[in-house]
Structure 1
Amino acid sequence: MPRSASANREMREESRRKILAAALEVFAEKGYNGATITDITQRAGVSRGLASYYFPSKHLLVEELLDAYLDQVAAIIEVPGPPDAQLAAIIDGTLRVTVTGLPMQGVILGLMVQPSTHPIYAAVEARKDERLRKLEDNLRAMFAARGSAEPEVEEVMLRSVLEGVIYKAVVYGARYPVERVRRRLYRMYDLPQPEDTLSGEEPPPVSRLRATERGF
């Protein structure tokens, strides 16, 4: 009995998801330049022909991953509620995604800054310019509602601080004191201290940060 159109669509989407997940893993292990399509297809358990049908080049795989990343950022920032609740939710959403997906964050950061892939990131950003402008405007409106005299500067600063936290967490992995930093961010923005932790466990004392060869 032939499969229905919806079943075929689901199979296609599942194949795409498997290929993208495999690409993320291989990029995390070998970097963009060291990874090959063969590495990715073997990890995904699909034929090279199928992978090439959906993604004829690594370039397109990177574009899809970065596209999904920007959508994830948008989802974190687009939260309802009064300004203080919005800001707390943005901080928590960013840090939660960071601690639950450090390898992915490392891959994305690498793709953003590597000379060979930065132009791809810039192209994806340009394609999403309208949505990104809306997000920036929403953040600026939030800071204006909180009484900021320079909401545009506050928007840039918040994004810079959170991106810096993500970078450090990627470099130092589980040793990075995400929960302590979270509470410091709450104080910096005069937010009521959170009553719980992101992990559900009491954060350990802050130690000295040193990278290890084992990475994450």
Structure 2
Amino acid sequence: MPRSVATNLQMRERSRERILSAALEVFAQKGYEAASISDVTARAGVSRGLVGYYFASKRDLAAQLLDRWLDGIAGILEIPGTPDERLAGMIDGALMAAAMTLPVQRLAISLMMQPSTHGVFAEVETEKSGRMALVEDAIREVFAARGAADPAVEEMLLRATLEGVTVKLAIYPETFPLEPIRRRLYAGYGLPEPKEPLPVPSPPVDRLRAKP
């Protein structure tokens, strides 16, 4: 009996997801430049032809992963509440995303920072320009509602701070004290102290050191 259209679509989506998951693992392990399509096919357990069916190139694989990363950032548009509650939600959302999706965070950071791959990041960011502008405007609206003199500068500073936290967490996942940093951010913005800690590991404050 022929498979239904819905079943075929589900199988294709599973194959696509398996390839993307394998690509993320390979990029995280070897780095984007050193990784090859053959590495991805071997990790995913699929043929090169199947990878080519869904993704035109290694660059396309990375772009698709970055695309999802940027969509995750856009999740702040759905945070409800007062300006203070929305700002707290933005901080928590960014910290949770950093802690729980370190492989894709590392990929995004490496693509942004390396001159040879910065173009990949820039292309995806340009494609998502409209949605990213909505994110920027949402953050600026929160700061405007809180009485900031220059909401645009506050938006850029918040994003730079959170991105810096993400970089440090990606480098020092075993020693970065995420919860104390979160509470310091709350205090810096005059937000009420959070009632509960984030549900992710947070070592005590000591020194940032990479574990061998």
Partner of 2:204: 205
Alignment of structure 1 residues 146-157 onto 2, 5 Å: 146-157=146-157
Runs of 4+ aligned residues of structure 1 deviating over 6 Å after TM superposition are none
Partner of 1:103: 103
One-letter code aligned to 2:117: T
* TM-score, length basis structure 2: 0.96
Cα deviation, residue 200, structure 1: 6.7
Alignment of structure 1 residues 63-212 onto 2, 5 Å: 63-199=63-199, 203-212=202-211
One-letter code aligned to 1:28: A
Partners of 2:141 and 2:160 lie apart in 1 by: 18
Alignment of structure 1 residues 23-102 onto 2, 5 Å: 23-102=23-102
Partners of 2:194 and 2:82 lie apart in 1 by: 16
CA contact (8 A) 1:78 1:135 kept: no
Which sections of structure 1, spanning at least 5 residues, go unmatched? none
CA contact (8 A) 1:28 1:103 kept: yes
CA distances 1:5-64 after superposition (whole Å, capped 9, x unpaired): 111111111111000000000000000111111111111111111011111210100110
CA contact (8 A) 2:174 2:203 kept: no
One-letter code aligned to 1:46: V
Cα deviation, residue 128, structure 1: 1.2
Cα deviation, residue 78, structure 1: 3.5
Of 176-185 and 133-142, deviating more is 133-142
CA distances 1:92-138 after superposition (whole Å, capped 9, x unpaired): 11111111222221122112222222111111111111111111111
CA contact (8 A) 2:102 2:170 kept: yes
Quote the sequence identity (%). Answer: 53
Q: Give the direction of change, closer, same or farther, for the CA distance of 1:176–1:68 in structure 2 (3 Å limit).
A: same
CA distances 1:55-99 after superposition (whole Å, capped 9, x unpaired): 121010011011111000001343121110101111111111111
Which sections of structure 2, spanning at least 5 residues, go unmatched? none
Of 38-47 and 95-104, deviating more is 95-104
CA contact (8 A) 2:92 2:182 kept: yes
Root mean square deviation, CA, Å: 1.3
* TM-score, length basis structure 1: 0.94
One-letter code aligned to 1:206: V
Count the aligned residue pairs: 212
Partners of 1:199 and 1:75 lie apart in 2 by: 19
CA contact (8 A) 1:84 1:146 kept: yes
Partners of 1:58 and 1:121 lie apart in 2 by: 13
